[in-house]
Structure 1
Amino acid sequence: MRRRLRSVALPLHRHSMPQVGIDAALVALAYFLAFRLRFDNGVPDDYADLQAATIAWVVGASVVVFTLFRLYEKWWRYTGHRDYVNIVEAVTVGTLFVPAFVALTQPVIVRSGRGDVALTVPTGVLALFFLLTLTLVGGARFVSRAVYERPPGGFRARSDARRVLIVGAGDGGRLVLREILRNRDLGLDPVGFVDDDPTKHRVRIDGVRVLGRTDELPRILDEAEPDEVTIAIPSAPGTLRARVVSACRTRGIPVRTLPTVFELLQTGGANVVRQARPVEVEDILGREPVRMELDRVGRYLDGEVVMVTGAGGSIGSELCRQISRVAPRKLILLDHAEDNLFRIQRELEDDRHVHPSTLAVVLADCKEGERMREVFAEHRPTVVFHAAAYKHVGLMELNPVEAVRNNAVATRLLARVAGEHEVKRFVLISTDKAVAPATVMGASKALAEYAVEAAQDRWPRTRFAIVRFGNVLGSSGSVVPIFRRQIARGGPVTVTDLRMTRYFMTIPEAVQLVIRSGSLGQGGEIFVLEMGDPVSIRHLAETMIELSGLRPGEDIAIEEVGRRPGEKLHEDLFNPYERTQPTPAEKITRAERDRLDPAVVEAMFDEVGLLVLEGDAAALAAKVSELTGMRASAALADPPDAPGPQAGRAVL
């Protein structure tokens, strides 16, 4: 109850006036009927006088109470179950006003043999007034919503309406159905539900029957003959979406899906039917999603000053979106790409959940030490997510100096500045390509991991952590955008090796797990996100072609062009010398390994830094490959279980 009274201003607007008038009439009617029903033989004169003397006060007080309890903040047709609880509270307070007012004002005095006595409202009248007011006030809202959702005369689809089958009879499915029933202009006619819950089988939901389970979908499609299918399960696993798409594709029926939970959060969940979009490869290949309460797992960021580097990139921008929802004191967006930074700035400023005063937008390059120290001194971040990195393997092979400068040397610099300013937490976004690296890009990220581990020993007051994961669908370094462009041009879709597999995860899930990992570290850990089963790149290409309504190998050719230098057939998430350890968090494990001596890391970066300054690309590529390879060779020669030359250290 106290949460409703925190605002002094009365939440009224011009659209509230008709609602206030109707409620006033209903309260007056309830008060009048309460007296009439209490006295079977007519209301005695004294009580009739009491009723006449108090009815205006009761109506006025009830309207004020209803206003304070915010019953007029929304149209009645949008009344939900929480609003009905609010109505009960408001009517209770309004009813208690009646005896209190009568006791204080004593409007009617009755003469008796014992002297003058102030007349009170009978308990029966109060009980009846409470029940009648609750019924009339709540009932008016219920009727308004019922009429809005299903107009008088029932739902009549337009003659040209498209027949739609809804997969999922849960909250998402019912929401879709209500939107269709409310909005005839959508031109949709719901023909049934499909749901795997056996308790819903053959049940009618708002007049629409559940026709069967998803494994019966081929039969249901043949019998119902829908024009389209809508998957109304925002958290549906990729396997279910793939099963639905497969059954519909053979019959030429288009499939649409509701946005994911993350997308619905970003849009506020309004007008979900119009937000339904075609099924994409991310929906099918994305593994069963991890469901976390972001408010809970990201609570450690509440009130913190959080910096995200690479804020305009695919991972960095999603980090900004999700972090902005856990109430940081300030969110610092840092990027050296002007267009990307401007795009995420405008997106967050337009988000009604984000107050512009909590955003700080910094155009800067992580490779510039003096600039980074200026930024840290000005904004004093307490948590840093370092997502800025070059990702394109082929491009980095052609530009090894920039790859190492940006991915390795800049990470070492940023970790040093964070340690000097006693940042509480520093999280590096790493990659599976840092495992047994075979390319310059992978080796540069492996060096970045070494730098962060060494920083933990040098600045123990900062909790450094590394989060390693594989490919994310739709990121700037992903193969998915390349395949999309090739399909749009009519093919061919080029695959370097038909045997190749990769791990894939959706960007929102990866970022959610990154945020969770940031709360786990005690200092220097490497957290590895469980990526599920690896996906065949050939299967990925075929799936994307089929989702485009084409046939792989016939409409769009798939060509094998040969692997590039250093490109692996299969990626790994752990080095051979790392031990897999569990963590308290679902889908997050820890890679345990002996840390390099910080002095060794410093010597490594001295050599690398000199080659970067000289711009000797060939020598630099050879050196980083040598350095990362030496660690693996040393670790394999001295297994983790065997006592090394230094306890807890690996020496090159």
Structure 2
Amino acid sequence: MISKLISLLLELADAPRQVKGRLLLGLDTVLVLVSLYTVLALRFEDLMFATRAPWGYAALFAAMTVATPIVLIFLHVPRIKLGALEGRGTSRIALAAGVLGLVLIAVGFLLQALLPRSVPFGFAAIFFAAALLMRIVAVQLVTRAAHHDAAADRVAIYGAGAAGIQLASSLRQARELRPIFFVDDDPKLRGLMVGGLPVFAPGLLAEKLERHQVSHVLLAMPSVEPHRVKAIADKVADLGVEVRSLPSYVDIIARNEGIGVRTVAPDELLGRAMVNLDAPDITSTYAGRIVMVTGAGGSIGSELCRQLLECGLEKLVLYEQSEFALYSIHNELTQLAERAGVELVARLGSVIDRNRVDYVLAEQKVNVILHAAAYKHVPMVEENEIEGARTNVLGTRTVALAAQAAGVERFVLVSTDKAVRPTNVMGATKRLAELVIQDLATRSAKTKFSMVRFGNVLGSSGSVLPLFQRQILAGGPVTVTDPEVTRFFMTIPEAARLVLLAGSYSRGGDVFVLDMGRPVKIIDVARRMIELSGRRVYDPETGCGDIRIEITGLRPGEKRYEELLIDHDNLCDTPHPKILRADEPMLSEIEVKAVIREIEGAIEHQNPDRVRKVIEARVDGYCRPDHATARDA
């Protein structure tokens, strides 16, 4: 019997909107007649009051039966969604009750029915209360039936603020999850009922999870710092429950996100607070200058351009090999540059074309160069050593020599943590580029050369963030090369700001690094992205979860651990507490020239083995991987 009732309620809940509207209209009409009968019976203190004027009361009830649907339809009362019944819906029902009371007065007057003055007011009050109560009961019945039928998972909500209340309200209308209680560290909320759910202190969480058999904890703290949210998530996860972070309604609207899988912001994955790199040195260094950014259409280059527009430049020169990338960034920045009063110039060209670089520097009278152009994807460069060395080493040298010849004030090389004791060609070529810049810095009277190393940039092309996001949207699996792989992470704005600050702090030959805290495991990033997207990591032992994590094995040239420094003992402070200056070992002028000759010879004869031999001889810590040895043999 109960199962049939549950099935009937669920069928009604899933019925088309028109069907449910007609049903509500019929029930409201019945409630009008019941309310009218009730108030008259109470007023006359007689259940058989109609016998006093049978035809008059019959006409009165008939008239109200006809008038009620007209009034309710006109006021859109049947369109009020039960699950979203709130202030406006309640007000509309109250308005309908008042209008029906006035209709009752008019009908009673026209029919000359025996209708005391107090009856219309009592009728309106009783109908309003009955109609509201009917809807509340209906919502509760359907909700309980849905939870009973779907065997919904019981969840706790961490955070009893506005976002938590919204989340609880939303979950009550769903069939998959059932909110049981709130957890909040605000002492003022403890012991209270918020949104119909009790609020407990975090210290009682373990006990309440076991007592109420809760399997999930949902984090509803959109205004809390990401690093604190991560700490809470880790602490709750240690209790043996699934932890998820779902966006609030405000987040969904502001970020144009769907309710299912949301886009994860890069700063949510750092495991630390973002570093504040705002400093007056930036504006003073670049104000009134003409700055050229190579690789301006790339992830880092384009962000550099955006931030430079805020520094009071005279002119910004976008130098890029890819026509489409140059078009895209120029199109994006045109209006921003106009508002900032900065002249914007786009120039197509390759960094290995000395004549083109010389011409652009002379034509535009460039004062500062930020060199972000490079081949950076490890597996791609690992299989294309010649082009990697041509662009990353010779390209850097070409632009640096052109800068020196043109009397450019500052040259900043964008490097990577993969340049430290590299196991891949990409990192090794970036280290050789650093050695080239270090050598030039010793013989440069006017141009100040410096380098910036940073870790993996979240959100850049080829980084784990867009890759994992695509895999999650596709339903998985999320691929991780090795469970022990760790990386230093930073956001694109942090990386770009570090480059700009390095340019202002440069004394010549400097290597700057950002204190990014502890390295983070890639597999932890994958798990966190899945959870922040509103999904669950699949557990092969229990068979529970949505997205699998698949281990694919280390790629050619990939390291398990990255480093930012070759020698940690040679660190110096800078004016910014989170930016450090490193004194790194370097090659002599003769050794650098020998490296360049060898690379040029390797390119001329298209000999990748020769490139690797140069790297082995000149880059500390590099060891040719097995796959490269086998291929060259």
TM over 0.5: yes
Question: 1:378-398: per-residue Cα shift (whole Å, max 9, x none)?
Answer: 112212111111111111111
What RMSD over aligned residues (CA atoms) do the two structures have, in Å?
Answer: 5.0
Question: Is the counterpart of residue 551 in structure 1 residue 538 in structure 2?
Answer: yes
Contact 2:369 2:410 in 1 (8 A): yes
- The answer for the alignment partner of 1:311 in structure 2 is 296
Measure, in 2, the Cα distance between the counterparts of 1:340 and 1:213: 52
- The answer for the alignment partner of 1:599 in structure 2 is 590
Contact 1:435 1:442 in 2 (8 A): yes
Residues 398, 436 of structure 1: CA spacing in aligned structure 2 closer, same or farther, 3 A cutoff?
same
Question: 1:229-253: per-residue Cα shift (whole Å, max 9, x none)?
Answer: 7644385436258469979x96897
Question: Is the counterpart of residue 473 in structure 1 residue 458 in structure 2?
Answer: yes
Measure, in 1, the Cα distance between the counterparts of 2:562 and 2:457: 13
Residues 290, 251 of structure 1: CA spacing in aligned structure 2 closer, same or farther, 3 A cutoff?
closer
Shift of 1:552: 5.2
Residues 360, 273 of structure 1: CA spacing in aligned structure 2 closer, same or farther, 3 A cutoff?
closer
Question: Is the counterpart of residue 402 in structure 1 residue 387 in structure 2?
Answer: yes
- The answer for the alignment partner of 1:582 in structure 2 is 573
Q: Which residue, 266, 273, 278 being the options, matches 1:282? A: 266
Measure, in 2, the Cα distance between the counterparts of 1:435 and 1:607: 22
- The answer for the alignment partner of 2:614 in structure 1 is 623
Shift of 1:624: 2.1
Contact 2:371 2:412 in 1 (8 A): yes
Measure, in 2, the Cα distance between the counterparts of 1:609 and 1:429: 22
1:18-167 to structure 2, matched below 5 A, reads none
- The answer for the alignment partner of 2:605 in structure 1 is 614
Contact 2:388 2:426 in 1 (8 A): yes
- The answer for the alignment partner of 2:430 in structure 1 is 445
Q: Which amino acid aligns with 2:595?
A: M
- The answer for the alignment partner of 1:527 in structure 2 is 512
Residues 617, 273 of structure 1: CA spacing in aligned structure 2 closer, same or farther, 3 A cutoff?
closer
Q: Secondary structure of 2:316's partner?
A: strand
Contact 2:394 2:596 in 1 (8 A): yes
Residues 538, 362 of structure 1: CA spacing in aligned structure 2 closer, same or farther, 3 A cutoff?
same
Q: Which residue, 476, 481, 490 being the options, matches 1:496? A: 481
Q: Secondary structure of 1:326's partner?
A: coil
Measure, in 1, the Cα distance between the counterparts of 2:502 and 2:201: 37
Contact 1:168 1:233 in 2 (8 A): no
Q: Which residue, 319, 324, 336 being the options, matches 1:334? A: 319
- The answer for the alignment partner of 2:372 in structure 1 is 387
Measure, in 2, the Cα distance between the counterparts of 1:305 and 1:168: 52
Question: Is the counterpart of residue 420 in structure 1 residue 410 in structure 2?
Answer: no
1:256-271 to structure 2, matched below 5 A, reads 256=247
Measure, in 1, the Cα distance between the counterparts of 2:564 and 2:610: 28
Q: Which residue, 341, 355, 359 being the options, matches 1:374? A: 359
Measure, in 1, the Cα distance between the counterparts of 2:440 and 2:189: 59
Shift of 1:166: 11
Contact 2:527 2:537 in 1 (8 A): no
Question: 1:402-452: per-residue Cα shift (whole Å, max 9, x none)?
Answer: 000111110011111111112111111111111112211111001100111
Residues 512, 373 of structure 1: CA spacing in aligned structure 2 closer, same or farther, 3 A cutoff?
same
Shift of 1:454: 1.2
Shift of 1:519: 1.5
Shift of 1:625: 2.5
Q: Secondary structure of 1:366's partner?
A: coil
Residues 231, 358 of structure 1: CA spacing in aligned structure 2 closer, same or farther, 3 A cutoff?
farther
- The answer for the alignment partner of 1:561 in structure 2 is 552
Measure, in 2, the Cα distance between the counterparts of 1:218 and 1:483: 32
Q: Which amino acid aligns with 1:497?
A: D
Q: Which amino acid aligns with 1:371?
A: R
Contact 1:431 1:468 in 2 (8 A): yes
- The answer for the alignment partner of 1:110 in structure 2 is none
Q: Secondary structure of 2:317's partner?
A: strand
Q: Secondary structure of 2:564's partner?
A: coil
Q: Which amino acid aligns with 2:587?
A: L
Shift of 1:325: 1.7
Q: Which amino acid aligns with 1:359?
A: L
Q: Which amino acid aligns with 1:559?
A: E
- The answer for the alignment partner of 2:223 in structure 1 is 233
Question: Is the counterpart of residue 299 in structure 1 residue 276 in structure 2?
Answer: no
Contact 1:231 1:241 in 2 (8 A): no
Question: Is the counterpart of residue 572 in structure 1 residue 559 in structure 2?
Answer: no
Contact 1:578 1:593 in 2 (8 A): no
Moved more, 444-453 or 610-619: 610-619
Q: Which amino acid aligns with 1:587?
A: K
Contact 1:366 1:414 in 2 (8 A): yes
- The answer for the alignment partner of 1:643 in structure 2 is none
Residues 596, 236 of structure 1: CA spacing in aligned structure 2 closer, same or farther, 3 A cutoff?
same
Percent of aligned pairs sharing the same letter: 38
Shift of 1:279: 6.0
Contact 1:493 1:557 in 2 (8 A): yes
TM-score, normalised via structure 1 length: 0.59
Contact 2:573 2:579 in 1 (8 A): yes
Q: Which has the larger radius of gyration?
A: 2
